Amino acid sequence: MSRIRDLLEKYYEGNTLKDEEEVLRSFFLSDRVPEDMEADRLLFLAMEEESSVKVPDGEQFDARFFRAVSEEKHSAGKPSRTVYLRFAAIAASFLIIAGSYFIMVQEKVMQESGAVQQVYVIEDPEKAYEEAKNALLYVSAALNRGTADLQKLSRFDDATKELSAITKFHDVVEKYGR
């Protein structure tokens, strides 16, 4: 076992010969590997699986490669999706910069003109509570109006579920009915 450990250390240092690597490979592909070397066994198993992958011969590979390159040349006339995405990103950046500039100018104009809103402060805690309650009731009513339309969507969703069940039934009949 110490010989295997020495060979393994030598293997990880990159100093093994082909024969020594074959000894390691046959050991780790066997069933007598100790638990503390399980990670090494998995490494050798993975390398064994990869070595069984067939690489196409030179002529087949060359033909596939040149065919793919010629297809790329044909599509070189139209811009790829990444070009459009880059332009969209640049345009979005300009919009953000222009929007930020507009907001800063607008704030400066409002400050100079004195159009800045005054803060409404309520000293009485009970009155403050009533104002907060009224504001929250207003927001709640607005949200309830918005969710009322969603009830119609839930009925639509129920109908699509029924159609989905009918479609599944139809698919089963088509598959087994013929």
Domain parsing of the chain, residue ranges: 2-51, 126-178
**For residue 73, pLDDT beyond 70:** no
Q: What are phi and psi of 74, to 5 degrees?
A: -65, -35
pLDDT above 90 covers what percent of the chain? 16
pTM (2 decimals)? 0.33
Summarize the confidence of residues 72-98 as an average pLDDT. 79
How many Å apart are CA 24 and CA 15, to the nearest integer?
Answer: 13
Residue 90, pLDDT above cutoff 90: yes
Token code pair at residue 112: 């100079």
Give me the residue label for tokens 């990103």.
89
How far apart (Å, rounded) are the C-alpha atoms in residues 134 and 142? 12
Residue 92 reports pLDDT greater than 90:
yes
Q: What angle do CA 31, 52, 32 make, to 5 degrees?
A: 5
DSSP state at residue 16: -
Which residue, among 21, 20, 27, 22, has the nearest Cα to 1 in the 3D structure? 27
Q: How far apart are CA 109 and CA 105, in angstroms?
A: 6
Proportion of the chain above pLDDT 70, given as a percent: 87
